[in-house]
Chains A and B, each alone.
Chain A
Amino acid sequence: MFETVEDVQKQLEQQGYICERRIATVVYLASRLEKPVLIEGPAGVGKTELAKVVAAATGRTLIRLQCYEGLDEAKALYEWEYSKQLLYTQILKEKIAEVMDGTRSLREAAERVGAQDSVFFSDQFIVPRPLLHAITSDEACALLIDEVDKSDPEFEAFLLEVLSDFQVTVPEIGTFSARQRPLVFLTSNDAREMSDALKRRCLHLWIDYPSEEVELKILDAKVPGIDKKLAQDLVAMMARLRQLDLKKIPSISETLDWARALLALNAGALDEELVRDTMNVILKYEADIRKAQQELSRMMTRSEPKAAAGATAADPAARKKGTLH
């Protein structure tokens, strides 16, 4: 798998995922200690992407479990295929009659049937869901439990068993334990705080908005053919937008969308009108767009290098910083 932290960084980069060393360190540790990683951070900074990329870099198959309110064991772990069982009993009626043949008392009949019931509760009638898949898979795999914060607390408690021992008990069949421990990633958008018990079993990784430098690199890797100067302006603009007090702060995915949009428009440089017209690519709320447009002219003048020196001292965005987090 991974040899060193640098190796992680390099391999992820080959997959087109540029990350800070901090992230690489945690991925490396997770692969070494075989511990799940709980990834938290704002939406769109590449939490899910990280799991996908690590799976690709290690050549593992990715099994994904999307969490939502009301997700239960039947959908996450396994389910008995009732209709198939029913169908089989219908088809096998004669065979069952054969088995029952010659029984005199009810008790005797029940015992005969009882001796056969493992036929109906076997692997054949089980529908494996993502978690069981990940545990019974012959090859090592990567398991992504996406948006775990959206699930109910009961489901979270149920996850604990799976995450700490990598085994699952099906009462009718027995316990399955993982032949090969999967690499587990849980992502959370902080809709609610996860329980301490869950956190204790995981390594924790907080992914924040990237620094301008890293974001520039990401842009370079993901949107080939973008003009250097344009990319720089774009990233600087995003950094400023993030300091505004917005409902939904734009993240990396929005930066990429924007870059692609500008590329499609054949834009060479970022000017005020262009930004105004394409604002709806990065901001998703009407109120946010209005607010950003108000600030826009001021921001644009500041992006001119000449005006930068004097203006930074009285930077209104910097004062607003406190409301950001």
Chain B
Amino acid sequence: MQKKIVEFANLLRKSGLRVSVSEAIDAFRALDELSIDDRGVFRDALRASLVKRGDDVPTYDQLFDLYWSGFHDNLRQAFESAAGALAGEGIDVEELLRRIQQALENGEAGEAGELDLSELARALLTGDLSELERLIRAAAAQAGAARIENMLQIGFFGRRTLEALGAENAARELQGLAARLRAAGMGDAEAEAIGRLAERFFEALRQSVRNFMERELQTRNFDYMEKFRREALFEKSFYSLTEDEIARMREVVARLAQRIKNVMSIRRRRMKRGKLDLHTMLRRNMARGGMPFELVFKERRKDRPKLVILCDVSSSVANVSRFMLQFVYSLQECFTKIRSFVFVAELGEVTQVFHDHDVSKAIEEALEGGGVINVYTRSNFGMAFHTFWRDFLSAVDAKTTVLVLGDARNNYNDPKAWCLRDVHSKAKNVVWLNPESPSAWGFGDSVMDKYLPYTSVAEECRNLRQLSRIVDRLVL
């Protein structure tokens, strides 16, 4: 049992749960206190001691089912169906097994020393499924089945397990037994039935071993694929996301935002200690005759940044905008105020849209222009910046970070970089995120080089990893 729990804990670890040794020990101790006959209790006890995060519970549940249930049931099923098939051929398996047992005990098949049945053959003949399971598990361990990694290896490891199990040998033994019994005067029909029985049972055994391997593979690989996909999402370019991936991405973005928020709250608290607050300190230490036993400091609050986002929503960068907006709005508490604008050629404010709807709906609407601009035109950064400069420059002050999202592909229009220059001189920061790599900036109709002097930070941002790094810097 202990071994199985250690193995199960390992499995959980492999699937991304953090299970420490002391937790595994707790699990043993917990099971000592309970009767493990009750599956529900067993499951809850393991869960309470091994799984400590709400998010991990679904993974645990699935793995629990995979690991703890079933192989035994499966084995029984295989052998029952074998027995059923034999019954269909007119052979009563139970009767036959009893007959063999009897024959063995009476020494009909020769001296006991001559007939040395292997453990496997004995288990098969007595129908001892628990023993059979133990043997299969041992053989699989010997064959190194724990190393199984993909479907193609099922056959290989299955064969090795059967070898380790000594299956062929046992089959020969059973055939030999039939021959002996016939020689000892058993009826032909009966002897033949034994032969048939041996065949069927081995078929069932083979099937079970294969099934065991499949299970093994499933448990080993559980979440491996999931994790792999998640990792890949981080690196994947926003340009090539499929619809399904966008949906999954949203979750990842939300999780990332939560993480940044956690880090933020810790860092902000560390910043808090400021100068000595003499006034409050004297008051509070009055009880001790004004002796400053207890020091009181003024709280220093780090200003949360204000944010103005200018989002290009032309189809070429829509996905980047989508995730950026999602990110920023998941981090709302980290900013004093966020104002968002969208543009293609015209520019319009969509702050209100975010105020009225929840984030995901607001984003979809913003990408449609939010009812304030026409999105079916060609990008014109110059015009957009000019509109911003003319109408909204007052939104920018010395505490504001201006975040521009766009590829700066200006369709050979006038870039009007001076608008950005004015914004830059008023704002605390101008951050430009461009989904194109820096080597393409300034080539073709890209006017990134014209804007570059007026940005504090300009970064390539084409996948989630880059995005998260930038946001990290933005809020701190």
Contacts and interface: CB of A to CB of B under 8 A. Distances in A.
A193 B53 contact: yes
A294 interface: no
Contacts of B29: 33
A29 B289 CA distance: 52
Contacts of A69: 269
For A37, A152, A193, which residue has the most chain B Cβ atoms within 10 angstroms?
A193
Contacts of B52: 38, 196, 199-200, 202, 204
Contacts of B269: 69, 152
A204 B53 CA distance: 8
A210 to B, nearest CB: 16
A88 interface: no
Nearest to B54: A206
B296 to A, nearest CB: 12
Interface in B33-62: 33-34, 40-41, 44-45, 47-49, 51-54, 57
B266 A153 contact: yes
Interface stretch (B19-27, B71-79, B185-193, B376-384): B19-27
Contacts of A203: 26, 48-49
Contacts of A21: 40-41, 44
Contacts of B266: 153
A204 B51 contact: yes
B45 A82 contact: no
A282 B29 CA distance: 42
A21 B51 CA distance: 17
B439 interface: no
B302 to A, nearest CB: 16
Interface string B6-32: 000000000000101011001001100
Contacts of A199: 52-53
Q: Is the interface of B mostly helix, strand, loop or mixed?
A: helix
Given A25-B41, A204-B48, A206-B57, A35 B26 contact: yes
Contacts of A35: 26
Contact of B33 (A29, A83, A153, A192): A29
Contacts of A254: none
Interface string B256-297: 000000100110010000000000000000011101010000
Contacts of A202: 52
Contacts of B293: 82
A40 B34 contact: no
Interface residues of A, number: 33
B288 A82 contact: yes
Interface string A30-42: 0011010110110
B33 A32 contact: yes
A193 B47 CA distance: 18
A25 B288 contact: no
A33 B33 contact: yes
Contacts of A25: 34, 41, 44-45, 48
B277 to A, nearest CB: 15
Interface in A4-53: 5, 21-22, 25-26, 28-29, 32-33, 35, 37-38, 40-41
Contacts, number: 73
B358 interface: yes
Contacts of A193: 53, 262
Given A29-B48, A152-B269, A200 B20 contact: yes
A204 B51 CA distance: 7
Contacts of A32: 30, 33
Contact of A26 (B18, B48, B53): B48
A190 B54 contact: yes
A33 B30 contact: yes
Nearest to A69: B269
B40 A245 contact: no
Contact of B22 (A82, A153, A200, A245): A200
B37 to A, nearest CB: 12
Given A21-B41, A21-B44, A83 B288 contact: yes
Contact of B54 (A22, A40, A83, A201): A40
Given A35-B26, A38-B52, A192-B262, A26 B288 contact: no
A205 interface: yes
A5 B41 contact: yes
Given A25-B44, A203-B48, A86 B288 contact: yes
Contacts of A26: 44, 48
Interface in B158-208: none
A198 to B, nearest CB: 9
B19 to A, nearest CB: 9
Contacts of B54: 40-41, 190, 206
Nearest to B21: A200
B4 to A, nearest CB: 19
Contacts of B287: 82-83
Nearest to A35: B26
Contacts of B34: 5, 25, 28-29
A120 B429 CA distance: 58
A33 B26 contact: yes
Contacts of A196: 18, 20, 52
B54, B266, B269 pick with most chain A CB within 10 angstroms: B54
Interface in A82-105: 82-83, 86
Contacts of B51: 204
25 contacts: A25-B41, A26-B44, A29-B30, A29-B33, A29-B34, A29-B45, A33-B26, A33-B29, A33-B30, A37-B48, A86-B289, A152-B269, A190-B54, A192-B265, A193-B262, A196-B20, A199-B52, A200-B23, A203-B49, A204-B51, A204-B53, A205-B48, A206-B54, A206-B57, A245-B358
Closest 9 CB pairs of A and B: A199-B52, A25-B44, A32-B33, A204-B52, A203-B48, A26-B48, A22-B44, A83-B287, A29-B30
Interface of B: 18, 20, 22-23, 26, 29-30, 33-34, 40-41, 44-45, 47-49, 51-54, 57, 262, 265-266, 269, 287-289, 291, 293, 358
Given A22-B40, A25-B45, A69-B269, 13 more contacts: A21-B40, A25-B34, A25-B44, A29-B34, A29-B45, A29-B48, A41-B54, A82-B293, A86-B289, A153-B266, A200-B20, A200-B52, A204-B47
